[in-house]
Protein backbone atom coordinates (compact mmCIF):
# COMPACT_ATOMS: atom_id res chain seq x y z
CA UNK A 1 0.00 0.00 0.00
CA UNK A 2 1.24 3.53 -0.68
CA UNK A 3 1.67 6.31 1.88
CA UNK A 4 -0.30 5.30 4.98
CA UNK A 5 -2.40 8.46 5.01
CA UNK A 6 -4.42 10.20 2.38
CA UNK A 7 -3.88 13.76 3.57
CA UNK A 8 -5.71 15.47 0.71
CA UNK A 9 -8.94 13.53 1.20
CA UNK A 10 -9.00 14.26 4.93
CA UNK A 11 -8.10 17.94 4.44
CA UNK A 12 -10.85 18.47 1.86
CA UNK A 13 -13.40 16.66 4.01
CA UNK A 14 -12.54 18.86 6.98
CA UNK A 15 -12.58 21.98 4.79
CA UNK A 16 -16.18 21.22 3.82
CA UNK A 17 -17.14 20.80 7.46
CA UNK A 18 -18.33 17.25 6.82
CA UNK A 19 -17.55 14.50 9.30
CA UNK A 20 -16.83 10.90 8.37
CA UNK A 21 -20.39 9.93 9.27
CA UNK A 22 -21.74 12.45 6.71
CA UNK A 23 -19.50 11.08 3.97
CA UNK A 24 -20.47 7.51 4.87
CA UNK A 25 -24.17 8.36 4.63
CA UNK A 26 -23.72 10.12 1.27
CA UNK A 27 -21.79 7.10 -0.04
CA UNK A 28 -24.45 4.69 1.21
CA UNK A 29 -22.05 3.01 3.62
CA UNK A 30 -23.09 1.53 6.96
CA UNK A 31 -20.79 3.66 9.08
CA UNK A 32 -17.87 6.07 9.23
CA UNK A 33 -15.22 3.37 9.63
CA UNK A 34 -15.10 2.84 5.86
CA UNK A 35 -14.44 6.55 5.33
CA UNK A 36 -11.67 6.38 7.91
CA UNK A 37 -10.15 3.48 5.96
CA UNK A 38 -10.33 5.54 2.74
CA UNK A 39 -8.50 8.36 4.50
CA UNK A 40 -5.79 6.01 5.75
CA UNK A 41 -5.78 4.07 2.46
CA UNK A 42 -6.18 0.80 4.30
CA UNK A 43 -9.17 0.27 2.00
CA UNK A 44 -9.40 1.27 -1.63
CA UNK A 45 -12.73 2.73 -2.71
CA UNK A 46 -14.69 1.03 -5.46
CA UNK A 47 -15.14 3.14 -8.59
CA UNK A 48 -18.64 4.35 -7.63
CA UNK A 49 -17.47 5.46 -4.19
CA UNK A 50 -14.46 7.22 -5.69
CA UNK A 51 -16.66 9.12 -8.14
CA UNK A 52 -19.14 9.94 -5.37
CA UNK A 53 -16.29 11.35 -3.28
CA UNK A 54 -15.39 13.54 -6.25
CA UNK A 55 -18.94 14.95 -6.27
CA UNK A 56 -19.09 15.33 -2.50
CA UNK A 57 -15.70 16.98 -1.98
CA UNK A 58 -15.47 18.81 -5.30
CA UNK A 59 -12.02 17.55 -6.25
CA UNK A 60 -10.87 15.09 -8.93
CA UNK A 61 -10.56 11.46 -7.89
CA UNK A 62 -6.84 11.54 -8.72
CA UNK A 63 -6.44 14.34 -6.16
CA UNK A 64 -8.59 12.71 -3.49
CA UNK A 65 -6.69 9.44 -3.74
CA UNK A 66 -3.30 10.79 -4.90
CA UNK A 67 -1.09 8.10 -3.30
CA UNK A 68 -3.18 5.38 -4.95
CA UNK A 69 -3.16 7.27 -8.26
CA UNK A 70 0.65 7.47 -8.13
CA UNK A 71 0.96 3.76 -7.29
CA UNK A 72 -1.24 2.83 -10.25
CA UNK A 73 0.80 5.12 -12.53
CA UNK A 74 4.01 3.37 -11.53
CA UNK A 75 2.42 0.00 -12.25
CA UNK A 76 1.21 1.13 -15.69
CA UNK A 77 4.66 2.52 -16.59
CA UNK A 78 6.34 -0.71 -15.53
CA UNK A 79 3.88 -2.84 -17.50
CA UNK A 80 4.20 -0.58 -20.55
CA UNK A 81 7.99 -1.08 -20.46
CA UNK A 82 7.44 -4.82 -20.18
CA UNK A 83 4.97 -4.81 -23.07
CA UNK A 84 7.30 -2.75 -25.27
CA UNK A 85 10.09 -5.25 -24.66
CA UNK A 86 7.78 -8.13 -25.54
CA UNK A 87 6.70 -6.40 -28.77
CA UNK A 88 10.13 -5.23 -29.87
CA UNK A 89 9.95 -7.48 -32.94
CA UNK A 90 7.05 -5.36 -34.25
CA UNK A 91 9.10 -2.15 -34.28
CA UNK A 92 9.69 -2.31 -38.03
CA UNK A 93 6.08 -3.07 -38.96
CA UNK A 94 4.25 0.11 -40.01
CA UNK A 95 0.88 -1.37 -38.96
CA UNK A 96 1.93 -1.22 -35.30
CA UNK A 97 3.33 2.33 -35.15
CA UNK A 98 0.36 3.89 -33.30
CA UNK A 99 0.21 1.03 -30.82
CA UNK A 100 3.93 1.10 -30.05
CA UNK A 101 3.98 4.90 -29.90
CA UNK A 102 1.21 4.92 -27.30
CA UNK A 103 2.93 2.22 -25.23
CA UNK A 104 6.15 4.23 -25.37
CA UNK A 105 4.34 7.35 -24.13
CA UNK A 106 2.86 5.37 -21.26
CA UNK A 107 6.23 3.92 -20.35
CA UNK A 108 7.92 7.31 -20.39
CA UNK A 109 5.35 9.34 -18.45
CA UNK A 110 7.14 11.78 -16.17
CA UNK A 111 6.88 10.98 -12.48
CA UNK A 112 4.66 13.12 -10.29
CA UNK A 113 5.78 14.95 -7.19
CA UNK A 114 4.94 11.90 -5.08
CA UNK A 115 7.30 9.71 -7.13
CA UNK A 116 10.35 11.70 -6.04
In this prediction, residue 48 carries a pLDDT of 97
Q: Do residues 4 and 41 make contact, with C-beta atoms less than 8 angstroms apart?
A: yes
In this prediction, residue 17 carries a pLDDT of 96
In this prediction, residue 116 carries a pLDDT of 44
Say how far apart CA 101 and CA 98 lie, in whole Å. Answer: 5
Q: What pTM, to 2 d.p., does this model score?
A: 0.76
How far does CA 67 lie from the centroid of its chain? 7
Mean pLDDT by 10 residues, the chain (116 residues): 68 96 97 94 94 96 92 92 83 77 84 54
Amino acid sequence: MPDPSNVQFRALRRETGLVQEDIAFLLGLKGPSSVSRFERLTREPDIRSAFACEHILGAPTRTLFEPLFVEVGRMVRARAHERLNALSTLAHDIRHVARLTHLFKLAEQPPTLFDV
